[in-house]
Amino acid sequence: MEDLIKALQIFLKYDNPRFPTNCSHDQLWVDINPEKVSPEDIKILDDLGFFPDKDGFGGFESYRFGSC
């Protein structure tokens, strides 16, 4: 859980949406625009299990923390 909290603290630096997360079939989505996130923080987020969405939906996703 510590890694999840670290990741959420990084996301909070870039935005504070009212409904920041969504979970669907083993994926946790975080609605933070990857273009706003520094390359250094993207690397840290990757190490914590989050990566920018590659399917064009935006935000970040994680298979490590998502489960439905």
User: What's the pTM value of the predicted model, to 2 decimals?
Assistant: 0.91
Provide mean pLDDT across the span 52-56.
85
pLDDT of residue 14: 98
Give 18's DSSP letter.
S
Q: What is the rounded CA–CA span in Å between residue 44 and residue 27?
A: 19
pLDDT of residue 55: 79
Q: What are the tens digits of pLDDT across the range 2-20?
A: 999 999 999 999 999 999 9
pLDDT of residue 66: 74
What amino acid occupies position 62? Answer: S
Decide: helix, strand or coil at residue 61.
strand
- Please report where in the chains the tokens 């998502």 appear, as a residue: 66
Q: What residues contact residue 13 under an 8 Å CB cut-off, 6+ apart?
A: 41
